[in-house]
Amino acid sequence: MTKVKEAVVALLKRADVRINGLKKRDIRVIDKRLYRRVLTGGSLALGEAYMDGWWYANHLDVFFAKVLRAKLDRSIRTWKFLRVYLAAKLFNRQRFRKAFHIGKHHYDIGNELYEKMLGKHMQYSCAYWKRAKTLVQAQKAKLDLICRKLQLKPGMTLLDIGCGWGGLLEYAAKKYKITGVGITVSKEQAKVARKRCKNLPVKIFMKDYRELNQEFDRVVSVGMIEHVGPKNYRTYMKVAHRCLKQYGLFLLHTIGGNKSVDTTEPWIDTYIFPGGVIPSAKQLMKATEKLFVLEDWHNFGPHYDKTLMAWHKNFVEAWPKLRKVKDATGNQKYDVRFFRMWTYYLLSCAGSFRARKNQVWQLVLSKGCLPSYESIR
Contact 143, 162 (CB under 8 A): no
Backbone angles phi, psi at 223, to 5 degrees: 65, 30
Length of the chain: 377
Q: How far apart are the first and last CA of the chain?
A: 54
Say which of 147, 197, 349, 369 is annotated catalytic.
Answer: 349
β-pairing, 157-161 vs 216-222, is parallel
In this structure, which amino acid lies at residue 82?
A: L
In this structure, which amino acid lies at residue 84?
A: V
Contact 26, 19 (CB under 8 A): yes
The DSSP output letter for 254 is E
User: How far apart (Å, rounded) are the C-alpha atoms in residues 309 and 349?
Assistant: 9
| Catalytic residue list contains 349 | yes
> Dihedral through CA 234, CA 217, CA 170, CA 173, nearest 10?
170
Task: List the catalytic residues.
Answer: 349
